[in-house]
A and B are shown apart, each in its own frame.
Chain A
């Protein structure tokens, strides 16, 4: 495969005295799907939030599509334009309609004319299968629909990398599938994805690599088959035995 699109090297982060991320090294190739899992508090969310500079870090370097993001977060805007993010709690803008949610960033960040932005937005809303809800407000939709809008909103910026921060954890069990299906579609189209999730079924089906984190460090990384069939580290074995029943 080609050069890495995301390259994390020697990443260290502290919250005050607390060492949350320790010597993280990770390379993501273009089109690769990576699932990051681990117990809560292991630093998975913090790690992917560092990639688009929602968190600052003290040591190390992150390079996204050739744009270097050091501890002083210089090229922060350039990086954020290339990286889309989907949050656990959707974070749609409640005062704007679904369509306005999806056109806001193209219009105000990329300076695209309103009409073109709306066309693109509708295209992506169709892809996540909710074009007919475009004029509703987020509060009028179910959680699953909101999360699909959030995915469409991130896609309207044509990101090269998509980050998913536990996208299904806040959903009713019935709605998890519709969101995961959307993500599977996206993966099949060749999007580079970093997904923090506890959905091991999704990891098995879609991921090229599963990364297991604990206490702020990467414990084990492997292809899903190897990872689930023969985990090497004792901590990984314990984790898997607790979540797979």
Chain B
């Protein structure tokens, strides 16, 4: 031993390594130090164990031990036939599964839904695995090509024209509404007190409208020629391809560097042509299945995926708008965000479904599902805007200054420096909103859309499966489905967060 009182000390024998005492390591050590190390902790451990006992055990009993696994109708799930107090009635789920997944989607056409699910999975999974290559192409396919393909797969129907016809149609509609507005003013001027003013403005607007009419006339004439020809889709397609490829060529740098842009845009159009041909869009496409027949998990996924994918860009745009120095953009963003955040989602859905048609021009209708989609996207977008704004606020001013000092423009600074950092800060909040959006999709059932939960509740009324445990089984099943999706999102977001925040670990 050393004399610890002595001021000088030199060690001669080194101390050998010894194993730690048993009671501090391994399972016993863990139990002692984490579960039973103080009276309060002992009490909490016992309470926790009791809580598990009283929740897990009955759930397992209900879902598995006391469950009925096979049968053809309600009789199998009645206690007097089974011989014991019946828990979950799984044959009911089995019988109703098609309805829970597809709703009233016609049985002969359900392969289209399955194909859409498969396509989505094939495109989504590689995108979520960071190691796989070609993320840009993958994302382009998933975010731009897939929605269009999915629409024609799920909804059906074909196309009568292509880019040129659509552009012409849009311009015509725009022009007609301008002339229409002018004419309304002219009519008003006959009775109003400020008649001369209205007359002048009305005439001016009509004049502008007529001018635009003459400007777009060649395009409309071309459209009519194309529509008159037998192969309207393909002629229009060829014209659109030529125009877009040429634009890409010149924007890409013309003869010097434009060849790449030309090649990629041409390849895109070839791909589009193949899809059109494969799906027969040029002659009617697949039989139309109206959205009021859609239901079940299909509607839940369509609504939530569309909502998730569209709400983030809306949120980013609004958040940037809210921080803009241009007053008009800022005021618009603030008003938009506050309006949608201040209104309950149910109100939004009701408004979108029952009130919106009253405001739209007479011959202009929007599908019920699309109306709900728009409502949900804008609603969630407003929430995402505030999430993103939180992230933007966390970025020090110096970051923007350093980027500006290097000569980066506002757009490049925002997209390369500010947004990547801001979004990383708020991944938990963003995913929080996604998860709550996923569950809020069940609210669409109040506007006559049958999502997973709606289809489930509809199936309760079937007398063939009316047993005491039907409702419990159904809700347990729906709960498990919702949980799988939400838990999946949650875990994936943790993974992404961990990966993208590599720079914050030392």
Contact = CB atoms under 8 A, between A and B. Distances in A.
Contact of A93 (B407, B417, B504): B417
Interface residues of A, number: 28
Interface string A59-88: 000000000000000000100110111010
Contacts of A77: 407, 409
A108 B401 CA distance: 16
B405 A95 contact: no
Contact of B407 (A92, A105, A139, A150): A105
Contacts of B424: 95
A105 B401 contact: no
A58 interface: no
Contacts of B404: 54, 80
Contact of A91 (B398, B408, B503): B398
Interface string B77-98: 0000000000000000000000
B421 interface: yes
Contacts of B409: 77
A236 to B, nearest CB: 30
Interface in A112-156: 137-140, 150, 153-154
B401 A80 contact: no
A191 B403 CA distance: 22
B407 A81 contact: yes
A140 B407 CA distance: 26
Contacts of A109: 406-408, 412
Nearest to A137: B503
A84 B503 CA distance: 25
B402 interface: yes
Nearest to B405: A85
Interface in B66-84: none
B218 interface: no
B401 A104 contact: no
Contacts, number: 69
A113 B399 CA distance: 24
A137 B399 CA distance: 15
A83 B401 CA distance: 13
A138 B396 CA distance: 15
Contact of A95 (B396, B401, B408, B420): B420
A153 B402 CA distance: 10
Contact of A138 (B401, B406, B421, B503): B503
Interface string B37-71: 00000000000000000000000000000000000
A11 interface: no
Contacts of A85: 402, 405
Interface residues of B, number: 23
A157 interface: yes
Interface string A162-190: 00000000000000000000000000000
Interface string B395-429: 01011011111111100100011001100100000
A77 B408 CA distance: 8
A46 interface: no
Contacts of A208: none
Given A95-B421, A137-B503, A139-B503, A108 B398 contact: no
A192 interface: no
B357 to A, nearest CB: 46
A178 to B, nearest CB: 20
Nearest to A92: B402
A93 B412 contact: no
B506 interface: yes
A108 B416 contact: yes
Nearest to A139: B503
B502 interface: yes
Given A81-B407, A138-B503, A139-B503, A91 B420 contact: no
Contact of A94 (B406, B407, B421): B421
A217 interface: no
Contacts of A137: 502-503
Interface string B90-116: 000000000000000000000000000
Contacts of B407: 77, 80-81, 105, 109, 157
Nearest to A77: B407
Interface in B311-348: none
A93 B408 contact: no
A223 interface: no
A89 interface: yes
A52 interface: yes
Residue picked from B402, B409, B416, B503, most chain A C-beta under 10 Å: B402
A139 B407 CA distance: 24
B171 to A, nearest CB: 35
B406 A105 contact: yes
Interface of A: 52, 54, 77, 80-81, 83-85, 87, 89, 91-96, 104-105, 108-109, 137-140, 150, 153-154, 157
24 contacts: A54-B401, A54-B404, A80-B406, A83-B405, A84-B406, A87-B401, A91-B399, A91-B401, A91-B402, A93-B399, A93-B421, A94-B503, A94-B504, A95-B500, A105-B406, A105-B408, A108-B408, A108-B416, A109-B408, A137-B502, A138-B503, A139-B506, A154-B406, A157-B406
